[in-house]
Structure 1
């Protein structure tokens, strides 16, 4: 295939695959905790890390990871301990992170509008070998946490008080979710962009919830949708010369709309099948050996 003949597209597709796995894998816990927009806030903070990377001539992905992890921990602490002014503190953190990143990128020697745009909205041609190595290592961490600790993270996301009663380290697990979300933002920013990464954490999960009810089924389907839309969006971006991040997010929304439209008819079919099975059960039991038919004599 033509798309696989160029080295930059090979790197872009591998990065897209990793993003498709990691974003929904941690996003399902954010959705469960009703923190769907947390990834968007971390993306704003990560801009400062990108700017520091350019200013210090360091890898922007690693710098963004460090800064976004610090920002995510701060956000979680504000959420846990903040009172009436907590929302204002978060707003200052988000806006300051974005403004600081834009400023640092522009005053750095390598800063330019093109560099800024590639991090905000994603770019296929900017994924280097060093970036791919960083993305792979960070993605391995996200998968290890989101899958290896899925029972503990689900318990904390579902009911913190119950998790605390059962002896789970709730505060540590909450911080781990925040840190993993921050790492995911760094993984995804080259492909989807910092402004759109939150959508890839949330939309595949929301789409999967239209068809599945169990956590395991939702997790598996959400990751499958994430992989499908990132690979399809990256491929479309290559052939149609459109921004990859926007293309991937619009495809994910299209999947959500489609599954939402199919959810109601499928629910009616399942309900009808359940009623049919319930109606057939007494007849089936009556035909079983040893079953008593109406009118049989009852021996006391």
Structure 2
């Protein structure tokens, strides 16, 4: 029974990271829509999709209950702003030819998370984990010097998601789906107002075939946002943190393949050197984490 649960958990995580890995193709399909407008649609339809799931489960009443606590409400608002910033950065990156940098952001995310865990939660770092972080930092430095600018898209994508995770850790007593629903509810009114007053797609040739095509395409932002998170929640409960961490590298790898093969973005020598250093850092860090995990058993 336990092996069956682990297998189903692994399959759920693989599904999660495949969907996240290919999500850039979807945002490429709506790249003719301004990034801020795509974000507004994403927030709106994600709220609708999450709300339907909670209604079917008979759990929607848990959302206002969680939002009555002023401290939790502030944290969920901050979490919502962080995930919205992360979504907007990714949409901007794909729409403006920076999908490669976005994939690098998700490669360095586990390493930035480790530094944050050490700084915020006083989590211990072993010698080889520190070595891995230094190698990753050298990769970012190489990319900065080679491109003549810091890889801000990569750093901000990783940074906003890490901050989001830090906030979520302080909301452990709020179920994940309830918390996410509260986050998008807090953003859905500004999103709807933006679409009404500034939405180009909403008012451009209304009810024409092209209008319906755009609206149906943008409506998909709801399930595309929600389904991977639901799969992730299912898988993370059944699989060890170490396994989850290893499988997570599928996401940026698929994103990198999509960026270079599907979007035909150039992969410079500087990207190659930086990626080699980051991959080395991830290998060292994962190996050290696995040894620590087995030693703790």
Normalized against structure 1, the TM-score is what? 0.28
Structure with the bigger percentage of helix = 2
Instruction: Mark the structure with the bigger radius of gyration.
Output: 1
Normalized against structure 2, the TM-score is what? 0.28
**Higher relative contact order at CA 8 Å, sep ≥6: structure 1 or structure 2?**
2
